DNA sequence: GCACACGGTATTGTATACAAATCTGTCGTC
DNA sequence: GACGACAGATTTGTATACAATACCGTGTGC
């Protein structure tokens, strides 16, 4: 164990907690750390050649953002990767839809010039999404990125700092489920893209309420479509 | 400095990070730690007779929940108490309204028996609120607690674990502004109580959309009323 | 054969020493 | 008199030692 420590104190002071956080998050999101896995500070520390201190920071953030939870029936906190369930997906998507709905509401109230620029961007992204989805063997990574970009578009241009912060803490958690979605429901992406058009329409016509509702429906429907997939997999939490 | 440490290692192992967090949060919420104040780990540690380790955990949580921010224009993170501004209040209240709106939506969809129990509780609380507000010199602390209890009612009975967690992380931040509200707008509490009745009505009639909208309006209006107060104070951040 | 207690092990909580980085104030130079 | 460089002081980042607690397997008594 001690022989393996490459450069423990020579590391270039580059926000190690964040690096550890990102790497762990990646492992979780991509399913390499299965739901239920226990995260042991010491193991992680040796794995990344850092001490427990930055690891602790990363774990606390992961926990706060919901990627890991303290396994129940234990007093001492034992962080484990949180499970993937149908109910959780449904609730999470509703919450994301709600937050993004608020952003869309605000986007529809933007002054015209800014709104026009946003609309152009949204249309471009969504058309690319449609085109990519229509391909013979759609590029999953690209599909996911385009969908992400679409939603991020109106959030960035209309949300204030607080909403943005909250969104960027909550939304990424949906990635765990979205990766399932895109893997098993690539054929239904066009449904989503059509729903996106309704969102665009709501923002374009300057009707905040409609834009918001369209976003809600998009996420709610996605959760429903996804629910069938999770059920089929028996909620095993692995894929 | 060293002579003052009472029982550094004899403390009864009672989740010190949480204790530190709660005490700091209290200081912030009650304005004893003014916006812009710098929080220095070592100072806090000596003040509470703990080491920097639990303090660090508390600070990280406070930062994640928005009570403190890294003051800009500095590379090294220098946490300071976040400011109180009109825009921030408006955005924060909209977000809380949005989250609680979702909870109210779900509450209106609850099965009848559960809904009846909830409605009874909400009515009781709101009537007490009205009664308290009508008094000659209303008890501010009590007013705040009753309003809090009212909103918590439908959240607790309808929200899932995720929504509850998010709500309990975001909502308490509004307390900084609510304390202003109740201090300077005690006379307008009845307006809020009337808006609460509309929420109750929405849940009672089983119309999720209306319940949600009523919650949105309640928070949005509150933010507007509060905005006038903050403006009057010149957004000094002290009171 | 089962329940319970006990001891070893694993893991987290806390304190503290040290290193790196920034900030602040002073002094010298132009 | 102002600007800039340098040195001391502050403060945070990291590593690590130690303490406390929870977990787990084994053994003993009934």
Residue from the list B88, B162, B169 with its beta carbon closest to the beta carbon of A91: B162
Give the DSSP letter of residue B38.
B
Residue A49's nearest nucleotide, by CA–C1', is D15
Distance CA A37, CA A58 (A): 16
- Give the SS3 label for residue A69: strand
Q: What is the pLDDT of residue B231?
A: 80
Q: What is the pLDDT of residue A1?
A: 33
| C-alpha separations of A189 from A43, A138, A193, A224, B208 in Å | 40, 10, 6, 14, 29
| C-alpha separations of A182 from A47, A144, A205, A213, B146 in Å | 31, 7, 30, 23, 46
**A215 neighbors A150 (Cβ within 8 angstroms):** no
| C-alpha separations of B94 from B165, B218, B226 in Å | 18, 10, 13
Q: What is the pLDDT of residue B62?
A: 96
Q: What is the pLDDT of residue A6?
A: 33
Longest Cα pair distance anywhere in chain A, in angstroms? 65
Q: What is the pLDDT of residue B57?
A: 95
Whether the CB of A75 is less than 7 Å away from nucleic strand C comes out as no
**Which residues touch B113 (CB under 8 Å, ≥6 apart)?**
none
Q: Which residues of B touch A (CB under 8 A)?
A: 56-57, 60-61, 64, 66, 87-88, 91-92, 94-95, 98-99, 101-102, 160-163, 165-166, 169-170
Angle at B52 between CA B46 and CA B53, to 5 degrees: 145
Distance CA A194, CA A176 (A): 23
List the alpha helices (DSSP H) in chain B.
16-29, 41-48, 52-64, 86-107, 112-134, 140-158, 161-170, 175-184, 189-204, 208-233
Q: What is the pLDDT of residue A230?
A: 83
Output the pTM of the full model: 0.88
Residues with pLDDT less than 70, chain B: 1-14, 72-77, 234-239
Distance CA A59, CA A48 (A): 14
Q: Do B91 and A161 count as a contact with CB atoms less than 8 A apart? A: yes
Q: CA(A79)–C1'(C4) in Å?
A: 30
**Which residues touch A171 (CB under 8 Å, ≥6 apart)?**
A96, A99, A100, A151
**B39 neighbors B68 (Cβ within 8 angstroms):** yes
Q: CA(B74)–C1'(C22) in Å?
A: 9
Phi-psi region of A119 (alpha: psi -120 to 50; beta: other; left: phi over 0): alpha
Using a CB-CB cut-off of 8 Å, the residues of chain A touching B169 are 64
pLDDT digits (tens, 9 = 90+) for A166-208: 999 999 999 999 988 888 888 888 999 999 999 999 999 999 9
Q: Could you write out the DSSP letters of every residue in B144-183?
A: HHHHHHHHHHHHHHH--HHHHHHHHHHGGGGHHHHHHHHH
- Give the SS3 label for residue B32: coil
Residues with pLDDT less than 50, chain A: 1-12, 74-75, 237-239
């Amino acid at each position: 164990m001690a022989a393996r420590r490459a450069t423990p104190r020579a590391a270039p002071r580059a926000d190690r907690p964040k690096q550890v956080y990102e790497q762990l998050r990646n492992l979780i999101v991509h399913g390499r750390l299965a739901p239920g896995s226990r995260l042991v500070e010491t193991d992680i520390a040796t794995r990344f050649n850092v001490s427990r201190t930055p690891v602790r920071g990363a774990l606390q953030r992961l926990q706060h953002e919901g990627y890991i939870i303290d396994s129940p029936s234990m007093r001492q906190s034992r962080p484990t990767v949180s499970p993937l369930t149908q109910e959780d997906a449904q609730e999470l998507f509703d919450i994301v839809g709600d937050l993004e709905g608020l952003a869309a509401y605000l986007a529809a109230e933007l002054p015209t010039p800014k709104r026009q620029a946003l609309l152009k961007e949204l249309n471009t992204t969504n058309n690319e999404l449609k085109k990519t989805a229509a391909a013979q063997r759609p590029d999953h990574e690209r599909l996911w990125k385009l969908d992400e970009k679409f939603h991020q578009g109106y959030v960035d241009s209309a949300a204030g700092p607080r909403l943005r912060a909250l969104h960027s803490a909550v939304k990424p958690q949906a990635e765990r489920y979205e990766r399932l979605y895109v893997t098993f429901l690539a054929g239904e992406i066009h449904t989503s893209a059509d729903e996106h058009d309704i969102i665009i329409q709501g923002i374009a016509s300057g009707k905040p309420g409609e834009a918001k509702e369209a976003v809600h429906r998009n996420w709610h429907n996605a959760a429903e479509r996804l629910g069938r997939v999770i059920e089929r997999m028996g909620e095993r939490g692995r894929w």
